[in-house]
Amino acid sequence: MVIIVVASKRPIVYLNFAGQNVVLLNTKEVANELLDRRSANYSDRPNNIVANYLGGLLVLPLTRYGKRWHTMRRASHSVLNTAPLTSIQRTAASNMVSMCYGKPPLSSDEPILQKLNDMAHRLTTSVYPGTHLVEIFPILDYFPSFMTKWKRDAKEDYKKFTTFFEQCFEEALEHKERASLSVKLAEEQIKTGLTDLEKVWVSGTLYLAGYETTTIVLAWLLYVVTIYPDVQRKAQEEIDQVVGRARAPTFGDMEHLPYVQAIVKEVFRWQSPVPFGLPHASMEDDWYEDKYFIPKGTICIANIWSINRSTNIYGADAVEFRPERFLNEDGTLRSDEDEHSAYGFGRRICVGRHVADNSLFINIATVLWALNIVPSTDKEVPQEQKRDSLRDIMNRPPELQRNFIPRFPEVEGILDDMISDMVVQPY
């Protein structure tokens, strides 16, 4: 697995992986300049051989910049912009499955979750330079199949992924009364111009791209409200004042719960789920500030971890967890100009970021409305992880044993009624 040094005072750091040019973008200024303002040149993805065999040519976040990417991106925007909010109101994993395939809320041991989790892990561990030997020595791709087990496995996984996505898609169409992204994609196929294969992979990709990161952020949310009881208390006071105890929070409460929204934003900033995002690639030679030459085909990686902890942007306490940094003095939410960078940059910014924000808000708001969360051990709880290198592209919280205590007697009944409505009502 790739190990990348995180800390650097230089705006751009040049790396070399067996002849492959790689630049690490360490400041928001340089990331905005290259990936946003010059996005026409930096919206491509590296040609990742293993990921391509696994399905990367059909996985929207990994698809090379071009006609197919534009078509799939537009289709994703179309269905996500019309996604019903009620289908978001469930736990993170079930949330994404419900939205994509119109299924009721799922338990963590459901076979569909196990399969999709395996797919997400297989793809996310294949995208960084140096992860697989064939990315360093591309000539290995031309060896016969009997000599390249990695290629046989990747091709077989692609067939399994496609078959599974097709089955899920067809099952969704059998229940059109349930509003889902798959049904919407089928209804708008002529309008979007997607092929049958692209259609099922767009639906599957929207899950794959959203599940792992959303689940990790939700885990971090539960982590921070456990180790920072004052944050938990402030959020619960705000929820009690706005929502009360006769019902659970809804999306109608969202604008009236700025502190809860600030907690979500601060978790994204403080513990970015993908500290280096997904690599971009330059399509033509370029210069930055007339002193940094970036050749065509250079892999460009935004150091989101460093950017989100910049003292120039977030102050001297940037390494601390403090939701108030996203609030104005009057307690209202600050503008999007002060947003974190966890969703990426330019034309490759996360297409489902608004859905993710809504999902995480309703999940943590409901949890804090219903439960007090306390550590189940007297041992000191670590509040920060040392981060000198990265051995996995995903940033997961440490294991933490905790107790969930109902805040008032009516909690169980109200939640049971809410879950029953989600299962029996079309959404």
Tally of CA atoms within 13 A in the half-sphere of 213 that contains its CB: 28
User: In whole angstroms, how far apart are CA 22 and each of 41, 127, 293, 305, 396?
Assistant: 15, 14, 12, 17, 25
Could you tell me if 204 and 165 are in contact, meaning their C-beta atoms sit under 8 angstroms apart? Answer: yes
Give dist(CA 276, CA 389) in Å, integer.
Answer: 11
Could you tell me if 296 and 283 are in contact, meaning their C-beta atoms sit under 8 angstroms apart? Answer: yes
Give dist(CA 80, CA 374) in Å, integer.
Answer: 36
Q: Which residue shows structure tokens 């071009």?
A: 66
Tally of CA atoms within 13 A in the half-sphere of 123 that contains its CB: 28
CA dihedral defined by 31, 36, 42, 48, rounded to 10 degrees? 70
Q: Is 128 helix (H, G, I), strand (E, B) or coil?
A: coil
Residues in the chain: 427
Q: Does 300 appear as a known binding residue? A: no
Q: Annotated binding site for heme: which residue ranges?
A: 350
Q: Annotated binding site: which residue ranges?
A: 350
